Amino acid sequence: MQPIRRSDPLAKPAKLSPAPAKAVRTRRAYFDFKFGQLHVRTAFPDTGGFDEQVTLFCLHSEQASSRLFARFLPEIAEVRSVYAPDLPGYGESDPTPSLSVADASEAVSDLANDLRLRQIDVLGIHAGAAIALGLAAARPELVRRLVLIRVPAAARLPRVSAQVLVLRTRLESAEDLAKVKAAAARVDFEDIAGYADDLFDAQPKTLAKQIGAFLSGP
């Protein structure tokens, strides 16, 4: 008599769980600089820093504060630490005596020193772009890449060795773009629709993808 054989139960295919998104931590802090304290928003991946890309500083326009980047920071910080200071005299940061581009560049330089960073990338909008260029000119060993939105109003921009990406809005003239070409050895141009300040709130994911591709590229 043949033994009764139980048919093997059909194996159910294993369900593949999606890869968990990298955790991003955000906080706010104060850092000392020459003329007082800078209020800084930060975001960084919860990876211990071992596989992070170059740290990014975000510098707001003259009509804003670091709050401008509140929705953008968690999007861009999946693979890098990000710092967005209230520039001197704006938001909750102490002012400098002259509120000049040079003083603000020095304050951002002090922040990089306090964090013991050897190299950074910098995103700047209009006045923030002027400060980013000033910092890159004064400390070429520190600033690796620049992302500029709304070219600063100046007869001539400082010469920089950093690689530059200009995100063009409807406000730049051909003369503005020519000034950037004259200031940097390598400049890339990409278009963005709308105005810079609004986009960081309305389209943070889109901007993070666009800017992140440039920062991570060759």
Q: Render pLDDT for 53-82 as a digit per residue (tens, 0 to 9).
A: 999 999 999 989 999 999 999 999 999 999
| Assigned domain for 183 exists | yes
Q: Which domain holds residue 71?
A: 24-216
CATH number at residue 114: 3.40.50.1820
Residue 10 lies in a domain: no
Share of the chain above pLDDT 70, in %: 86
Residue 184 is assigned to a structural domain of this protein? yes
- Tell me what pLDDT residue 215 has: 97
Domain count, the chain: 1
Question: 210 in a domain, yes or no?
Answer: yes
Q: What is the pTM of this model?
A: 0.86
Between CA 37 and CA 141 the distance in angstroms is 25
Strands in the chain per DSSP E: 24-33, 36-45, 55-59, 82-85, 120-125, 143-149, 163-168, 187-191
